[in-house]
């Protein structure tokens, strides 16, 4: 008989499965004993999914072996952690919507260390890049793990600076490991998988979708003991992460910038609204 862990993982791997659909499936059957035995009609009723999606899930569950799926992931250096695993990060357990499964490459114990989340615009100014490069090394050398999203711009700079400072870093990505985005960060992803940590709540073969990015941001903020916003426009997607961090009870600090700089409008506004101002590494 399969374990609850195997059943949860098999349910989660179904193409197109969402966090909310799995919650509904789980609510009606907490042990997931019957997840693969529901009729097409029952699946649509239980989860609210479309008929076509229910057909896809039903076919997947009845034509794949979870043992074989796990073997394929392990061959690719990927291991999955479900919410009942002892190694599931304690910070994520405190979230209102923790990931059902985390797909990992690297050292998952880094999630339990002292952490600093670093986020910012994908199109940083020279000022933002310089500040990230100069402010982070003392923080990294003090033992803090840098958490970010491996996006272009500030995220990528933060990961590279943590590595150059001989520290550790965690990247939370949108989409699965077989579809690293942006493509130019494939080499960085491999570096993180060997000695650092790369994690995703999406199955390895899932292509990144637009809505994955705000979803992954809640994990970045949850894993961060404190969140540092380097640069952000006044209506930047970065500010979504800030809202999630505040909802999760995290401290937020921000880099001030010129009043004429579009990439500092968001951070200056955060400081006006009560975020801690960062004037040096000691403020982090």
Q: What local confidence, expressed as pLDDT, does residue 176 receive?
A: 96
Residues in the chain: 284
Q: What local confidence, expressed as pLDDT, does residue 1 receive?
A: 43
DSSP secondary structure string for all residues of 29-81: -TT-TTTTT--HHHHHHHH---HHHHHHHHHHHHH--HHHHHHHHHHTT-EEE
Residue 119 contacts residue 228 (beta carbons within 8 Å) = yes
Q: What local confidence, expressed as pLDDT, does residue 130 receive?
A: 97
Residue 80 contacts residue 70 (beta carbons within 8 Å) = yes
Each residue's pLDDT expressed in tens, for the chain with a length of 284 residues: 479 999 999 999 999 999 999 999 999 889 999 999 999 999 999 999 999 999 999 999 999 999 999 999 999 999 999 998 999 999 999 999 999 999 999 999 999 999 999 999 999 999 999 999 999 999 999 999 999 999 999 999 999 999 999 999 999 999 999 999 999 999 999 999 999 999 999 999 999 999 999 999 999 999 999 999 999 988 777 888 888 888 898 999 999 999 999 999 999 999 999 999 999 999 99
Q: What local confidence, expressed as pLDDT, does residue 246 receive?
A: 87
C-alpha–C-alpha distance, residues 225 and 251, integer Å: 7
């Amino acid at each position: 008989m399969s374990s609850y862990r195997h059943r949860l993982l098999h349910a989660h791997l179904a193409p197109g499965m969402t966090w909310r659909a799995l919650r509904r499936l789980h609510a009606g059957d907490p042990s997931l004993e019957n997840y693969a035995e529901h009729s097409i009609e029952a699946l649509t009723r239980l989860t609210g999914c479309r008929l076509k999606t229910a057909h896809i899930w039903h076919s997947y569950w009845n034509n794949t072996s979870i043992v074989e799926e796990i073997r394929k992931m392990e061959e690719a250096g990927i291991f999955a952690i479900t919410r009942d695993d002892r190694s599931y990060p304690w910070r994520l357990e405190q979230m209102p919507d923790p990931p059902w499964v985390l797909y990992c490459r690297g050292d998952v114990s880094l999630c339990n260390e002292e952490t600093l989340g670093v986020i910012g615009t994908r199109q940083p100014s020279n000022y933002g890049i310089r500040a990230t490069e100069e402010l982070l090394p003392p923080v990294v050398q003090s033992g803090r793990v840098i958490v970010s999203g491996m996006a272009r711009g500030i995220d990528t700079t933060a990961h590279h600076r943590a590595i150059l400072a001989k520290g550790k870093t965690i990247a939370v990505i949108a989409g699965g490991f077989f579809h690293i985005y942006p493509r130019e960060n494939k080499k960085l992803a491999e570096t993180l998988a060997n000695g650092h940590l790369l994690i995703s709540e999406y199955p390895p073969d899932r292509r990144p979708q637009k809505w994955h990015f705000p979803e992954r941001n809640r994990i970045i903020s949850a894993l961060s003991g404190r969140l540092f916003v380097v640069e952000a426009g006044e209506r930047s997607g970065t500010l979504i992460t800030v809202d999630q961090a505040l909802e999760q009870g995290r401290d937020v600090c921000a880099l001030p910038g010129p009043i004429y700089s579009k990439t500092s409008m968001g951070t200056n506004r955060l400081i006006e609204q009560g975020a801690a101002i960062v004037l040096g590494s000691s403020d982090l």
